């Protein structure tokens, strides 16, 4: 069964809009776990506009499911991850001013850089996943640099799902099959939602984990957090 990791960045965005500690990020993470989340994901950015680096340290003390830290591996990020030693680090090639992640790694062009990063994190016993587009060449490149997993960047799937879901899913199926052949673990994330998640999980082979934040938190405004997490879990069962 595919595991659900809840990205709580948007909770931090709401908190930061007013300052203080409301909503309390640590409590929300604990509630997500209690309501059925099988992991907690955070994406600290250099400007700390949502998740703060201190949040990562605080969450590390209490998260009992899988803790996944994702982000662009600048020096501060590397030092944070090595200090916390989460279950998984997901490397994302975000520009510092990016509103949200918008592309995967070119695993061929950046092979040497990625290989060094992966070796660094693996030396501390941290599972490494790298964010890639649904491109079989990028999957092959990911295998070559020694990552444990890849995370497929699913915004193109979500964007084209309503118009032609078969065409939208096709490159992701091919990429997943290539990952399976290469012995890579497979994660996915970005703009997955209650509308498109079930079809994705049914069609993409060997999908281990999805990381979902924005859509899940939006749905929680209407359905409540506990019910929403259960709705997403049902899409994956």
Catalytic residues: 43, 70, 190
Structure tokens at 87: 């279950």
Quick count: other Cβ atoms within 10 Å of Cβ 177? 16
For residue 223, give the H/E element and its range: helix 214-223
The four Cα atoms 102, 49, 142, 177 give a dihedral, to 10 degrees, of -60
Quick count: other Cβ atoms within 10 Å of Cβ 222? 8
| Phi, psi torsion values for 215, nearest 5 degrees | -65, -40
Distance CA 223, CA 236 (A): 18
DSSP 150: E
């Amino acid at each position: 069964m595919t595991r659900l990791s809840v990205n709580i960045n948007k909770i931090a965005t709401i908190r930061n809009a007013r300052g203080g500690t409301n909503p309390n990020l640590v409590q929300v993470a604990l509630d997500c776990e209690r309501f059925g989340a099988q992991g907690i994901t955070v994406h600290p950015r250099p400007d700390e506009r949502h998740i703060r680096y201190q949040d990562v340290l605080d969450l590390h003390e209490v998260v009992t499911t899988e803790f996944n830290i994702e982000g662009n591996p600048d020096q501060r990020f590397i030092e944070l991850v090595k200090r916390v030693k989460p279950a998984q680090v997901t490397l994302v090639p975000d520009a510092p001013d990016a509103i949200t992640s918008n592309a995967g790694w070119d695993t061929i062009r950046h092979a040497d850089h990625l290989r060094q990063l992966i070796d660094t994190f693996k030396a501390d016993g941290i599972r490494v996943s790298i964010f890639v587009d649904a491109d079989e060449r990028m999957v092959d490149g990911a295998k070559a640099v020694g990552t444990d997993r890849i995370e497929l960047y699913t915004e193109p799937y979500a964007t084209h799902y309503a118009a032609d879901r078969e065409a939208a899913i096709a490159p992701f199926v091919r990429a997943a099959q290539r990952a399976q052949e290469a012995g890579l673990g497979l994660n996915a994330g970005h703009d997955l939602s209650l509308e498109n998640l079930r079809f994705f999980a049914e069609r993409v082979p060997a999908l281990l984990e999805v990381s979902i934040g924005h859509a899940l938190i939006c749905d929680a405004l209407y359905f409540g957090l506990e019910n929403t997490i259960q709705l997403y879990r049902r899409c994956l069962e």
